[in-house]
Amino acid sequence: LHWNQRYNRNWSTNIGLNYTYGRGFFEQFKEDDDFSTYGFDELTVDGQTVNTTDVIRRRWLDNDYYVFNASANYKNRNLDMIFGTSISHYDGDHYGEVIWARFASQSNIRDRYYDGNGKKNDFSVFSKATYKLNDKVQLYGDLQVRNVNYSTSGITSDLVELLVDENYTFFNPKAGVTYKYNDNNDLYLSYARANREPNRNDFESDSSIRPEQLNDFELGWRHKEGNFSFNANGYLMLYNEQLVLSGELNDVGAPLRTNSGESYRLGLELEAVIPVNSKLTIQPNLALSSNKNKETIRSFDGELQNLGSTDIAFSPEVVAANAIVFQPIKNLQVSLLSKFVGEQFMSNTEAQESKLDSYFTNDINLIYTIKPRSVFKTIVLTALVNNIFDEKYESNGYYFTYDDDFSNPGTITTVEGNGFYPQAGINFLTGVTLTF
């Protein structure tokens, strides 16, 4: 439900109310699983004790989500101000059922073997404004206070009790200034503080996980002259307890996160649109960054090791792309799309077993537009051929470690494991868009 009302040239209000119902499941076949996982009693079959079985289990999410938003806007020649509030409530059930078992013991179909609930209440008030000081200078400010309450009950799919009752209050200010040097050039400077709370997966993997705090400083330049444009943005992001990917996955393949203490991301982003002539345009962009955990301590082979400063997981130092757009005739556009991603680690320890090599891929996109005289306004034919040089590469994966104290009794040996996701070779997509 949305209600938008304008009272005069200066004042307007917006009210929104929505409800989302979500429900779904996936199924897993488990071979020779323990009876104890499902609360089954032992059986005796042909004189033999049976305490394991093949099962098919169904794991459910069933949730309700309510959101209320309200804001008021005041606008005049120099000032544009918005203030308002947002309130949301999430109530989600997580549970699993046994829908088939080779040996079902005393159970009935769709008996639940785990059942848990999570609730999240989110309340915020905010005010933000843009003020035109003069023809050259524009100021921006944003203040937000946000309260989050998160609670859980019951047990997880690993049959572990998950009891969380956390309450967070965040203050998130932002401020910035834009200086219009002339008609072709703008300079801007901004500061923002942001906070992010852990989610359910975070609490399941680490009950002591903490929220993330960020202080972000940015300095940029925007240039535009005719069809040529160039943008440069430098940033320094200072984190406390950043929620970084650990490289590990949970039992359904979702990535896990961990706190990294003090860390930072320092980078420069460049992008441009360069018209060579009326038929050819080049659109390059480049991101250079240094992404570091200031201190990383890990346990390896039974001993704590201080690795000092290490790269943040899944954070390449170089990412670059380019589009060469060629229009040989009025209705045909051909684009060569190129992308380079530098090497990166899937762990925060720079373990060689977790290294993802750099890769460079190229795609071709064709768009042809037909304007018939009747029935359709336009017929647009598209073809996208990805990875035209059939590059063999992996863009993602996972990394994990575990302690092995059985192979050599009396000592602890850390075993490393990894997995890589190979990407498709040459592949294509074609389409037709009809406009009436």
Neighbours of 381 (CB within 10 A): 15
- Burial of residue 106, with CB atoms counted within 10 A of its CB: 0-12 exposed, 13-18 middle, 19 or more buried: exposed
29 has pLDDT over 80 = yes
158 has pLDDT over 80 = yes
148 has pLDDT over 80 = yes
Lowest-pLDDT range, 27-41, 216-230, 367-381, 398-412? 398-412
Tokens of 381: 């034919």
Q: How far apart are CA 108 and CA 191, in angstroms?
A: 59
Is residue 325 within 8 A of residue 279, CB to CB? The reply is no
Query: According to the model, what pLDDT value does residue 204 have?
Result: 92
Q: Mean pLDDT over residues 225-242, rounded?
A: 97
Tokens of 332: 């045909």
Q: Per the domain annotation, does 31 fall within a domain? A: yes
CATH of the domain at 262: 2.40.170.20
Mean of pLDDT over the chain: 96
Provide the pLDDT confidence category of residue 193 given band limits of 50, 70 and 90: very high
Query: According to the model, what pLDDT value does residue 79 have?
Result: 97
Among candidates 132, 257, 255, 264, which has minimal Cα distance to 206? 257
Q: Per the domain annotation, does 8 fall within a domain? A: yes
37 has pLDDT over 80 = yes
User: 11-34 and 52-75: which strand pairing?
Assistant: antiparallel
Q: Per the domain annotation, does 436 fall within a domain? A: no
410 has pLDDT over 80 = no
**For residue range 85-132, what is the model confidence (pLDDT) as tens digits?**
999 999 999 999 999 999 999 999 999 999 999 999 999 999 999 999
Query: pTM for this structure?
Result: 0.91
Q: Per the domain annotation, does 198 fall within a domain? A: yes
Q: Per the domain annotation, does 96 fall within a domain? A: yes
**For residue range 385-402, what is the model confidence (pLDDT) as tens digits?**
999 999 999 999 999 999
Provide the pLDDT confidence category of residue 252 given band limits of 50, 70 and 90: confident
* Helices vs strands, H then E, count in the chain: 1, 28
405 has pLDDT over 80 = no
Q: Mean pLDDT over residues 63-87, rounded?
A: 97
Q: With pLDDT > 70 as the criterion, what percentage of the chain qualifies?
A: 100
Task: Give the list of residues 6+ apart from residue 334 with CB closer than 8 angstroms, or none.
Answer: 325, 326, 327, 328, 364, 365, 366
AA letter at 43:
L
How far does CA 356 lie from the centroid of its chain?
Answer: 19
Q: Per the domain annotation, does 135 fall within a domain? A: yes
Provide the pLDDT confidence category of residue 251 given band limits of 50, 70 and 90: confident
Q: Per the domain annotation, does 164 fall within a domain? A: yes
Query: According to the model, what pLDDT value does residue 377 have?
Result: 93
Q: How far apart are CA 345 and CA 295, in angstroms?
A: 16
139 has pLDDT over 80 = yes
Domain ranges, residue 281: 2-331+339-362
406 has pLDDT over 80 = no
**For residue range 315-362, what is the model confidence (pLDDT) as tens digits?**
999 999 999 999 999 999 999 999 999 999 999 999 999 999 999 999
Query: According to the model, what pLDDT value does residue 374 have?
Result: 87
Q: Per the domain annotation, does 418 fall within a domain? A: no
Total structural domains within the chain: 1
